[in-house]
Amino acid sequence: MSKPIHVTQTDFDSHILQATQPVVVDFWAEWCGPCRRLAPVIDQLAQDYAGRLQFAKVNVDADGELAATYQVEGIPTSIVFVGGQEIRRFVGYMTREQFARQLETLLQVVA
């Protein structure tokens, strides 16, 4: 069973920027209602896309510097990285189906 990994400023480069496959990074916070609604969607997508995409989570309260570096101004924000570069970002809550459609489109482009 694949689950999102929790990354911090310390290990962001090794887990995200140096990853060999695309990574979806969920920027979130405990107090954020839409973030809490998105969490099970991210968990399910991590299972659905195991082997094709990696999923990671960054707590913006604990790692505000990362949020600032990537200009995350609203949460939840999900950023897709390929080869260490941001290729797409999604701001706000999406259903599993909406998110999956977006990911399928991206995978066709980066494959």
Which sequence positions are flagged as catalytic? 32, 35
**Residue 12: burial class (beta carbons within 10 Å; 0-12, 13-18, 19+):** buried
Among 9, 86, 15, 90, residue whose Cα is nearest residue 45: 90
Residue listed under structure tokens 């995350």: 72
**Which run of H or of E encompasses 6?**
strand 5-6
How many whole angstroms separate alpha carbon 83 and alpha carbon 68?
A: 21
Calpha distance 2→10 (Å, rounded): 22
